[in-house]
Amino acid sequence: GENVEQHPSTLSVQEGDSAVIKCTYSDSASNYFPWYKQELGKGPQLIIDIRSNVGEKKDQRIAVTLNKTAKHFSLHITETQPEDSAVYFCAATDSWGKFQFGAGTQVVVTP
Amino acid sequence: DAGVIQSPRHEVTEMGQEVTLRCKLISGHNSLFWYRQTMMRGLELLIYFNNNVPIDDSGMPEDRFSAKMPNASFSTLKIQPSEPRDSAVYFCASSSSTGGTDTQYFGPGTRLTVL
């Protein structure tokens, strides 16, 4: 089945700096890769997603890149702000179309 | 438009009691997913429905867990009898696709504590 690995598990950045989270997946049939942000006491919220026919997607300070050959995708947050502090999850669809989530990255943005 | 609605938000119960968690899908969505989140195991898919039909329940831990969709907009997850190891946050998510390969929108979750 699909296996998604996410690194790092924790990430501390200074406000204004960039943050990068990387995920790898195993199923070459995966074709949809969403990223979720989870704040304390809340459910995961979709922040950006990318499909396999696209290599990069950007939405304001957030961007995602996908390398299908290498089976990895990354989340980039530029000009980080304290409200970016949260747990971020990547996911990839498996052969059955179900999401397999990464273990999560705790991002802490210090002022 | 309202997002996915879950109730209760918090549930504390004693071992052996029956627990029922409830979820209302986003209007117009036709796929429903139940997840469980723990520190040890992360986010695990328990079961998902498409057009009210259970498609995959391979993630349901054991027979103590059951899920239903009595209509197109509502689902329940029942644990009977509950055990302390069932303590977790339970999320439901909905999407408008015919399978799992489309955006899933999560509810706020139900934090379950079994004493």
* Candidates B43, B102, B109; nearest CB to A101: B43
* Candidates A34, A42, A98; nearest CB to B45: A98
Q: CB–CB of B100 and A89 under 8 A? A: no
**Helix, strand or coil, per DSSP, at residue A98:** coil
Q: What is the mean pLDDT of residues B3-32?
A: 96
Q: What pLDDT is recorded for position B101?
A: 60
Q: What pLDDT is recorded for position B97?
A: 73
Over residues A1-26, the pLDDT tens digits come to 778 999 999 999 999 999 999 999 99
User: Is the Cβ of A65 closer than 8 Å to some Cβ of chain B?
Assistant: no
- For residues B115 and B107, give the distance between their C-alpha atoms in angstroms, rounded to a whole number: 25
* Candidates A31, A49, A89; nearest CB to B103: A49
pLDDT of B99 higher than 60: no
- For residues B89 and B92, give the distance between their C-alpha atoms in angstroms, rounded to a whole number: 10
Which chain B residue lies closest to A37 (C-alpha atoms)?
B106
Give the residues across from B31 on adjacent strands.
Answer: B50, B95
For residue B11, which of B2, B22, B1 has the smallest C-alpha distance? B22
For residue B33, which of B66, B8, B63, B56 has the smallest C-alpha distance? B56
Query: Long-range pairs for A47-55 at CB < 8 Å and ≥24 separation?
Result: A47/A88, A48/A75, A49/B103
Over residues B28-53, the pLDDT tens digits come to 999 999 999 999 989 999 999 989 99
- Are the C-beta atoms of B77 and B46 separated by less than 8 Å? yes
User: Is the Cβ of A97 closer than 8 Å to some Cβ of chain B?
Assistant: yes
Q: What are phi and psi of A24, to 5 degrees?
A: -120, 150
- pLDDT by 10s per residue, chain A, length 111: 778 999 999 999 999 999 999 999 998 889 899 999 999 999 999 999 998 888 999 999 999 999 999 999 999 999 999 999 999 999 998 777 789 999 999 999 998
Q: What pLDDT is recorded for position B78?
A: 98
Q: What pLDDT is recorded for position A93?
A: 87
Beta strand segments in chain A, E = 4-7, 10-14, 19-25, 32-38, 45-51, 56-59, 62-67, 72-77, 86-93, 99-101, 105-110
Task: Please give the mean pLDDT across all residues of chain B.
Answer: 93
Q: What is the mean pLDDT of residues B55-60?
A: 91
Q: What pLDDT is recorded for position A52?
A: 82
Between the CA of residue A30 and those of A10, A66, A69, A96, B69, what are the distances in Å? Answer: 26, 12, 12, 9, 28
Which chain B residue lies closest to A44 (C-alpha atoms)?
B106
